[in-house]
Structure 1
Amino acid sequence: MNEAPITDLNEAPFLDVADPNFSIRSEAVLAAREKSWFARTPYGIAVLRYDEINKLIRDQRLRQGSYAWPAHNNAVGSFAEWWMRMLLSKEGADHSRLRRLANPAFSPKLVKKMTPEFQNMANGLIDSFIERGECEFVSEFSEPYATMVICSLLGLPLDEWERLARIAVDMGQALSVTYKQDEELVNDATDKMFDYAREAVALVKRNGLGEDFLSYLVKANLEDENALSEQELYDMIVLAIFGGIDTTRNQISLAMDTFLQHPDQWTLLGKQPELARAAVEEVMRVRPTVTWVTREAVEDFSYQGLEIKQGTTVHLFSQAAGSDPRAFENPEFDITAKRCPHFGFGAGAHHCIGHFIARGDMTEALALLAQRLKNIAYQGEPTWLPDSGNTGASTMPIRFDKSAVA
């Protein structure tokens, strides 16, 4: 007989997501998901099941809640200030205006146009290590690849990738539960990223505007500062660089780790590279880099008997939803299975604006990697960012059969 659903916040399981050792894939999270659709956390409540997340992520009584992340961590400085100003933290008319300006640069048409570039970048990186039969996957593939894609998207020189990647890695510490202890590093990196954005804009203005995303934003600012102010211009550039590098680098490393745990699936993908698009979706279901999506209540309301007060932070645990047995009869990793949509890119008004680019570049990367790197295995222990918030590998030493044949 099923137990009555919990409706009293004090009776819900507690998950200490503020603990740097907390893992969103832990037995504690799975046990909490079985006991209740929600849990208490130091930051508010966490929603653990697929159906509830699917409804609440689009609920108009909730706004995007990540804007409060610096405040949750008592963090201040340039990153926190930028985070509060930029597109992801905006609502209503401002959010719609900024999103309209950025949308054309992330269209499916652009992804199709860039596909040969994605393939050339991926093959070039693989060529640099395939004869050795080993590599450090993050520094030799996922990081340079993610950064080169963003450089190409923004019309920046590809040889800038290493400089930008270093800055993005340090900025990315802000999205971990260790943000406060890394605050000085994060703010220094943010200052450097804004310096780079100013340099890039000055260069575009000197050389003349092109057809790239950066030129498009500069043109919008020059034509009408009410459409896009100087500050919004730089904020948007920093978001495009940082967001594109950090999430794609981490997601590709998580994909490789997932396939290392499922070598039969890697072999299948190598034989049937047309499964790469489905593989991206399946990886993001079981091992998303964005492990939770945040909302905040804009009014008091009741949901499934739970009273949620205005201002309550609501974390939607996309990681837990991806393996919820109520939504997935067989949640094991399978790139051939038909699945419900995952929440790795969010949903609703704040659905990730760069999802077409991310899906496109990861699809090409996984298809080529699986075809060219045979019999992959770990060669030493990988190192990881904390397993919550935005996660991924810091280092990933792997080996594979030596080959130069595509």
Structure 2
Amino acid sequence: MSDALPYLDLSDPAFSTRGPEIAEARAAAWCARTPYGLAVLRWHEVGRILRDRRFRQGSHNWPDTVGITGAFAEFWKSSVISQEGPPHRRMRDLAVPALSEAYVTGLIPVFEEIARDLCADLRQTERCEFQSAFSEPFAGQAITTLLGMERERWPEIAHDAAELGLAMGVRAPEFQDRFNAACIRLFSLADTLVTRVRRGEDKSSYVARLVVRFDETGGCSHDELLNVIVISIFGGVDTTRALLGLGLSLFIENPAQWQALRQDEGLIPAAIEEFIRARPTTTWATREATEDVELSGIRVEKGTVLHLLVHASARDPAICDQPAFDITAPRRKHFGFGGGAHHCIGHFVARTDIAAALAALRRSFVRVAYDGVPEWLPESGNTGPLSLPIVYEVQT
């Protein structure tokens, strides 16, 4: 690794992976040094690393990198996200068929109903804190639907998933007691849900489909089954909740784009992809070199961790000469859901439920603006709004 490379302090809570320092570093080199290893800034190198078998999933060392221990660290290191080889394939072979496109598509009417009900409440006023009034209850009710739970239980699920999210930011050690307690509660819930399936009380949910697959394959342990359920809850709630808030903030800051969406519902899929390019909730995917690798003139030593920055690569001038937020512009592929063997298992669920939410919101808000100053998590690691106060005009 060359000391001549630019340096980016990803550990600084004030640092933004969308900031001007990123563009300067990207212009100088395809990667930069950071406290956590290398940050990969250009689109071509990100794509190559995701496809290169000499790099493994690097997120397994996140707890050690930020200095956290306990239930969450053990869960994370054992998860499908962090494992490689047979353990990864076993857990992935459980989850992927259980989240088939046909199954998820069948949930669209429920996702639409949840969004309509929440928008009906929003129509009774002209201002709200968007995360607590819409994003969190929508994400929570969407996941209870997947889990085969009563929709009214969404607050406990959403709360614990949000608590886990605190483990994925650069300030994680400050919240260790909270996310470890939430992790223990979610594993207990997962065990209860599996027991319900075994008793014949749930025959159609995502959990039921996982248990059927578990019995068919016989390859996973009970702990691995529970781990798949907990990672699904975590990813399902945290990604949807954060991305809805990040996306709405982009529309607030680009009101002409909101009007374009209102005029053409067909732009919803493009809007979701543009959210991820312009303001991703997971700011990087992580890989680790399993051997010494020569890549674009840089020697990457075995054991080096590389953080593949989503925004920097999506806005790389080599593939994006119009960097403004624009849901109508043709774009190259982004890497917000990772890639290769570790491509996000829940990407289709996230795209599907967020699409249902956007469809309801575009029919409800004529105009929307900030109603005060939003509060954000740091823009390194996993990010999103802590609070998003808005004022809006509703469609009559």
TM over 0.5, shorter chain: yes
Q: Provide the secondary structure at the position in 1 that maps to 2:52.
A: coil
1:370 matched to 2:375: no
* Map of 1:161 onto structure 2: 154
* Map of 1:322 onto structure 2: 314
Aligned residue among 179, 183, 189 for 2:176 = 183
Please list, as runs of the form range in 1=range in 2, the aligned pairs for 1:4-403 lying within 5 A after superposition.
9-221=2-214, 226-403=218-395
Q: Provide the secondary structure at the position in 2 that maps to 1:376.
A: strand
Cα distance between partner residues in 2 of 1:143 and 1:308:
41
Cα distance, 1:139 vs structure 2? 0.6
Cα distance, 1:363 vs structure 2? 1.3
Cα distance, 1:223 vs structure 2? 5.9
Where do 5+ consecutive residues of structure 1 fail to align?
Answer: 1-7
2:98–2:213 CA contact under 8 A, matched in 1: no
Cα distance between partner residues in 1 of 2:333 and 2:200:
43
- The letter for the 2-side match of 1:36 is A
Q: Provide the secondary structure at the position in 2 that maps to 1:9.
A: coil
Aligned residues: 396
- Cα displacement string for residues 128-180 of structure 1 (whole angstroms, at most 9, x for unaligned residues): 12120112110111111111111111212111110111111111100000112
- The letter for the 2-side match of 1:111 is V
Q: Provide the secondary structure at the position in 2 that maps to 1:361.
A: helix
Cα distance, 1:269 vs structure 2? 0.4
Cα distance between partner residues in 2 of 1:105 and 1:133:
40
What RMSD in Å do the two structures reach over aligned CA positions?
Answer: 1.4
Cα distance between partner residues in 2 of 1:308 and 1:364:
43
Q: Provide the secondary structure at the position in 1 that maps to 2:328.
A: coil
Cα distance between partner residues in 1 of 2:209 and 2:80:
17
Cα distance between partner residues in 1 of 2:141 and 2:131:
14
| Percent of aligned pairs sharing the same letter | 42
Cα distance between partner residues in 2 of 1:280 and 1:192:
31
Structure 1 stretch displaced more, 183-192 or 194-203: 194-203
1:220–1:227 CA contact under 8 A, matched in 2: no
Q: Provide the secondary structure at the position in 2 that maps to 1:401.
A: strand
Cα distance between partner residues in 2 of 1:290 and 1:273:
26
Cα distance between partner residues in 1 of 2:42 and 2:202:
47
Cα distance, 1:221 vs structure 2? 4.2
Cα distance, 1:242 vs structure 2? 1.0
Cα distance, 1:219 vs structure 2? 3.4
1:197–1:238 CA contact under 8 A, matched in 2: yes
Q: Provide the secondary structure at the position in 2 that maps to 1:87.
A: coil
Cα distance between partner residues in 1 of 2:31 and 2:170:
20
Cα distance, 1:292 vs structure 2? 0.5
Q: Provide the secondary structure at the position in 2 that maps to 1:394.
A: strand
- Cα displacement string for residues 241-278 of structure 1 (whole angstroms, at most 9, x for unaligned residues): 11100111111111000111111110110111111011
Cα distance, 1:218 vs structure 2? 2.7
Structure 1 stretch displaced more, 244-253 or 94-103: 94-103
Cα distance between partner residues in 2 of 1:100 and 1:322:
30
- The letter for the 2-side match of 1:246 is D
1:77–1:187 CA contact under 8 A, matched in 2: yes
2:367–2:394 CA contact under 8 A, matched in 1: no
Cα distance between partner residues in 2 of 1:379 and 1:208:
45
2:364–2:394 CA contact under 8 A, matched in 1: no
TM-score between the two structures when normalised by the length of structure 2: 0.97
Cα distance, 1:345 vs structure 2? 0.7
2:91–2:225 CA contact under 8 A, matched in 1: no
2:5–2:33 CA contact under 8 A, matched in 1: yes
Cα distance between partner residues in 1 of 2:14 and 2:102:
42
Cα distance between partner residues in 2 of 1:157 and 1:354:
21
